[in-house]
Amino acid sequence: MRAWLFTILHNLNVEQGRRRNRAAAEIISISGDETPNIAPPTQEIGLTVRDLYRAMDQLEDEHRQIILMIGVGELSYKQTAEILGIPVGTVMSRLARGRERLRILMAQGATPALRRVK
């Protein structure tokens, strides 16, 4: 009798596991996401951040300062102008020039320069 009960319990456990797997498969098919437990690769993000730091280092101080105050510090143009003691229009033009320069530097970092090896 004991062996018979253990066999029944074992079979119930196996069947419950199968039901869980089927339910997970149904959820995946409903949501359309076939890989819910796979994390996206982070290597490219790390390289982009590295390129951003390098590009920021190449900017002029006045452009870097304004990009950081507005982009990272989330200050308004007016607050930035007051802190730096310059007109709001100057803040806007320096920000535009700095962002454009940053775009160019980031684009250059995306395509590595090849060198000739003898």
Q: State pLDDT tens for residues 81-107.
A: 999 899 999 999 999 999 999 999 888
Spatial separation of the C-alpha atoms in residues 103 and 100, rounded to whole Å: 5
Q: State pLDDT tens for residues 32-52.
A: 555 555 666 777 788 888 888
Provide the whole-model pTM: 0.57
Contact 99, 71 (CB under 8 A): no
Helices assigned H by DSSP within the chain: 2-31, 43-58, 61-67, 77-84, 88-110
Spatial separation of the C-alpha atoms in residues 14 and 66, rounded to whole Å: 62
Q: What is the token pair recorded at 115?
A: 């060198």
- pLDDT the model gives residue 16: 81
Q: What is the token pair recorded at 8?
A: 């029944």
